[in-house]
Amino acid sequence: MKNMIKEYDISNQINVLTNSFKQIEYADTNTYNLDSKNYEYIDKIIICGMGGSAIGGDLFSNMFQNEIPIPIFVNRYYHLPNFVSENSLVIISSYSGNTEETTTAFNEAIEKKCKVIAFSTGGRVEEICTNFGFPHIKLLKGFHPRFALYLILFTLIKIFSKINLIKDQAELLNNSIALIQSKGEEYVKDNSLPEIIAKDIVGFIPIIYATSDFNNSVGSRLKGQFNENSKLHAFVNFFPEMNHNEIIGWETYSENLAKFKIIFLTDKNMNSRVKKRFEIFEELVNKNVEVIKLESNEKDFKLRLLDLIYLGDWLTYYLAIYRKQDPAEIDNINYLKNALS
């Protein structure tokens, strides 16, 4: 494996993965001022972003859905929803600062006179903030956006803590640093758990099942990482909704048509009826297709989400290497951006 990593990991992304905990440290020590009085009368929160810059919003929403009494929406489009108003807080999340969809939505937020907080490494987002006097938080440069998830997530957590929409998260931050650092040291070794799972998936298309409004962010992240890191098609759906439609598609499954492996993302605190649905569905399909179950043993729910996110990052990295692909390369995305410009 080490020789393959040297050959295919051209930009040394394994070092980025191993040191992901340092992104959390940076987000914690990054200094900026936010006056909580400016955000006392918020009725909605809209987090605008695309790709890796949006997944942080999904993960934040899963983590704090029972702690913030204000609805949170993640917006992946050029336009803001019609319900956005002067009392809405719009978070602009763009690692590069030049994401076309996000900067367009930013301009719309200005037109609607929304409250805005933005973060990026610079680019157009920083320029707009300077021109209009919005708070801009400078992110650490040097990452592919999807590999900067921990920086984006913990920047969001710090923002909401600073404006008093969530309590201080020092304990979560310290525990997260310890978790990611220890797992990185474990996963970088030969025959680690994510490497073993990755080897098992070679030659198959993964189909991921998570739970709506609970750990759906982990499912979406894993799907995207299979796409970008492993250069592989992957599919994701969510319980219980898939029990009302997609479950029927498995009635005629045959390996002659496609080779799939199912990945369950489960949690000990998931709804008991959803847990039962997973069990029944496994009974239906496990004679024809292997089910890989991923579940964290961490005590805290937020840490369990983060644990699975990190496992998925490593899993898809190793799968890229096994498939003789550069995990950092995104040629099709770059071609599309150039064609659009």
> Mean pLDDT of all residues in the chain?
95
Residue 253 is predicted with a pLDDT of: 85
1 pLDDT tier (thresholds 50, 70, 90): confident
Residue 254 is predicted with a pLDDT of: 78
Q: What is the DSSP letter of 339?
A: H
pLDDT tens, residue by residue, 87-113: 999 999 999 999 999 999 999 999 999
Question: Is residue 317 pLDDT above 70, yes or no?
Answer: yes
pLDDT tens, residue by residue, 127-144: 999 999 999 999 999 999
Question: Is residue 257 pLDDT above 90, yes or no?
Answer: no
Omega within 30 of 0 (cis) for the link into 69: no
Q: Are 235 and 260 a contacting pair, CB within 8 Å?
A: no
From the number of C-beta atoms within 10 Å of its C-beta (0-12, 13-18, 19+), residue 208 rates as buried
Q: DSSP for 77-146?
A: SSS--TT--TTEEEEEE-SSS--HHHHHHHHHHHHTT-EEEEEESSHHHHHHHHHHT--EEEPPPSS-GG
Q: What are the structure tokens assigned to 276, written together?
A: 């039962």
Residue 53 Cα distances to 49, 164, 212, 221, angstroms: 5, 23, 20, 11
Q: Are 27 and 158 a contacting pair, CB within 8 Å?
A: yes
Tell how strand 136-138 and strand 260-265 pair up.
unpaired
Residue 286 is predicted with a pLDDT of: 85
Question: Is residue 256 pLDDT above 70, yes or no?
Answer: no
Residue 133 is predicted with a pLDDT of: 95
Residue 230 is predicted with a pLDDT of: 98
Three-state DSSP class for residue 208: strand
Radius of gyration in angstroms for the set of CA atoms belonging to the chain, rounded to a whole number: 20
Does the active-site annotation cover 337? Answer: yes
Out of 2, 37, 244, 299, pick the active-site residue. 244
Q: How far apart are CA 52 and CA 340, in angstroms?
A: 20
Three-state DSSP class for residue 205: strand
341 pLDDT tier (thresholds 50, 70, 90): confident
> What proportion of the chain, given as a percentage, has pLDDT over 90?
92
Q: How far apart are CA 173 and CA 167, in angstroms?
A: 12
Out of 115, 144, 228, 231, pick the active-site residue. 228
Question: Rounded mean pLDDT of 301-312?
Answer: 98
Q: What are the structure tokens assigned to 180, written together?
A: 């990611």
Residue 59 is predicted with a pLDDT of: 97
Residue 287 is predicted with a pLDDT of: 83
Q: What are the structure tokens assigned to 243, written together?
A: 């029990």
Sheet holding 88-93, edge to edge: 72-75, 44-48, 88-93, 115-120, 136-138
Phi/psi of residue 179, nearest 5 degrees: -65, -55
288 pLDDT tier (thresholds 50, 70, 90): confident
Residue 52 is predicted with a pLDDT of: 87
Residue 258 is predicted with a pLDDT of: 74
Residue 39 C-beta-side C-alpha neighbours within 13 Å: 23
Question: Is residue 289 pLDDT above 80, yes or no?
Answer: yes
Q: What is the DSSP letter of 241?
A: G
Does the active-site annotation cover 244? Answer: yes
Tally Cβ neighbours within 10 Å of residue 59: 27
Q: How far apart are CA 298 and CA 167, in angstroms?
A: 21
Give Cβ neighbours of residue 25 (< 8 Å, ≥ 6 apart): 177
Residue 12 is predicted with a pLDDT of: 94
Q: What is the DSSP letter of 266?
A: -
The residues with which 235 forms a beta bridge, in sequence order, are: 207
Q: How far apart are CA 255 and CA 278, in angstroms?
A: 22
Question: Rounded mean pLDDT of 177-194?
Answer: 97
Residue 72 C-beta-side C-alpha neighbours within 13 Å: 22
Torsion of CA 197, 5, 23, 182, to 10 degrees: 50
